[in-house]
Structure 1
């Protein structure tokens, strides 16, 4: 009574007595739920046969129900025939069923009022009974349980099929794949990981990732590259890092690790999947490229020649310090402008015509250009223009290299003038 009152109070207060703390459903069973049912069937017709077949196999153990015997006046009744085949006790007189050891349930399937009344009147007190109407309810409950079981098995088959498909996808990837738990232990790996490491899956599953990948006793920190696992668990976002390893020969190798979170139903990260690929060649090429770019930058910045790069519409993309000094402009202010915004119109048109010649022919072309800086003062330049092509062979910009030849021209003019005033001198 006290328990019932407590349950009523819970229901009145909106609480759910059939739910656990985490919200899961609690299946409440009576005190007799643990007692095995030892049943005998009175009436060996087709209903008996169907019930015996329904209770066969593993279903019998799940329901904790065992058929001890069957009684029917006819030995040829289908339920009697099946019972004998299955080694179940049979008799023509259901009174004999009372002698079966452990019997605690009689199931009446005759649909006979006389048989039912006699069974109720004569059965032992400790033996319960249900008639054919109650048996129908039992049948329906067993069918419902069977349908539920089939749905559960179908769900398990679907989950297994999906899991196997996911594993096939992971196994087909060329990168080494590890699925990791929060404590750094390896949950699973793909075939590429097994092949490239030479370790079997059972040798790595359950061990910590840093033991397998780096041979160290703790998470990866320092010069070799920080571990992305903790960051992914904390932030719930994909993280990519580069780890370096030094081989036995002393040469460094590099691996790119992309760690991606796996979320549970509550939206929290429960595992991460790490994709690992060797990027040694890429890292070394990038390093060589940076070194080459730095050398080129130093060359361009320190060159005494004027060096410019333009786009295909004549706008300056780059000018070196010597070009900025010769043009009398700040480098930042010249970038993005054309010749017409920086030079006199006559010179700008001449330079534009020279640019068009390169754009038309896609070849290197040399020109002599002059710049008047004031009354009686002229500067001379020898310029070389050539196309810059992309990896498809298409022109993307053009370069201009100009050398100030003013002094050279002046000396040549002096030599020429002096030579013309000295009879008998040979000129080259």
Structure 2
């Protein structure tokens, strides 16, 4: 994870106060009108992730792009926060900056970090987070702008891998890259230039041309200058330019072969030159050796010949006489067909060839060096009889070495000659170092390890060939290897190297050491007493707590018995318990009393146990003692309290019960037993539902389950079933009993018999019903009488009306008669 800040730093991020880097479409830093929040809906469909988080890092709001980046729905994200979605390796820095932001120590921060998507995938983002404040300046929440940079990271990774592959390739070829700036006359070297050269000579990754050229002979500098000038004049590049660099400390000369590409500007001026330099010292040394030998063949004690393409011998020195006699050939005559073929191959390839020739018990290693311009091949022989005989002896014992190597898990056996050439390389440890038998056998240390590692290995081999046996440890890819190298007896300049993977052993040793350290720390901080005695009862170990309890310092405790430290009574008690522990495989546990220096008598729960030795027999007696004085006092007080409580509960007139989480009775008082006509033993363990009337069970269970889940007390009137099947009514008040975490673990209920009240209520109800029936009957009679009266009154009114009409009619008739 990298942090981007306005200033460049490699230590920690710095910030430009009051400003933040502009990010594509980033949200504004002002608040909306009343609630102090950004109008996030404006940014809902942007291709940039926007996320609001509370001051403690919980997501408050997110847009569509942020959901896409993390693969969650908006609803899911609003249940998460910064910690839930941030990669564990990046969370520490992110939350630290977040806290500084909230505290007002920085106005904004930016960083590249990894999120963990819903599907478990990792995605890289660039995050810019700022603080949103209210109208009065108080911090409200943070706002983050998130840009997906996974593609960018993949490109970076590919570039790094490509650069690494190029680095490995150049290192394998003993090359380093360089660049030259013509305007500034400045060379820039790749990091591995010291490994390729074998020395630094004060050179830095960047150097002036004068600093580099001062390490080369004047004639080489002149040749380089002319070659570059000619390349610029002809607009060509540098090809296979060879020159020397000399280490001023020891005069060591390194030959380099340089190839370079010149870059020109639009006007055709050379601006930069890029190239590679390869260390060719080994091949130059071989060429020089050939030239030296070819200049003085007559004085050479080994065979030197000049051979033509058609197989004739043009020249042979005196040391070649034995070979010529063996071939029955002389100068100007033809050489054997097999050697003739090698000569032809050498001329065709243009490179030197190595062949071996054996004659009369002597073996010669011959180098065929082509001289193309003259059309012949020089043969330079070297007597390698001793070496070959030693190799034959080595091959004879090679099976033994390979068998040894195969019997060493994760190990290897190597045999090296005085030329530091691997003759035997066997064992799985070879592959653990990325090598193989073929890569080692027949090759020298410097060929296999051309870097500083090879230099160190050669230095150790020189000491070994001087007669020193060397042992050392090496760490590689998290494994630890132990190596010992020594000269091989009865051999001609050979050394044997044995390498063993000791990772598990080292881990076991470290684990044992850590275990011992943990044991010491544990024992010294253990609040309990701990000690170890031998079978004679003498103390051999005691922790600090035991020293204090025994009032005896360690130096006066070790080697002494209980009788020499404690009173005879206490010592006899301890000795008796020790004896019981010795005869029991599992040891024994007891309570022991000891009066401390302050005069108080303390009680301890003591465990004593035998500790077997390497042969399985008891060698020691271990012991621990935990002070239980306060616990015993508390238990005694609790016992007294429980007895008092039990007496009170049993004297209560109401039934009192305690039920576990499943409703089983775990305590009943006598009053409850009397209610149901059961004994205490008959009721304990019985579910209360078996004693509850079927019509009341469902409601009782519902309220009880709620109590056990939420801790809510309840009251209920219900029916209980007595032993004889009769029913009694009870008024129940149930309350939870909480455990140490505040969760209900059981319940206590007070159950009052209300059967008489229920019966009185029922009788009263029946009386009310009878009274209601009588009232209804009386009401009906009165209503009938009222109706009859009303009917009689109506009839009278009708008759009275008819009389009035009749009287009126008579008066009218009477008036007519008068008139």
* TM-score (norm. length: structure 1): 0.49
Larger Rg: 2
More strand by share: 2
TM-score (norm 2): 0.27
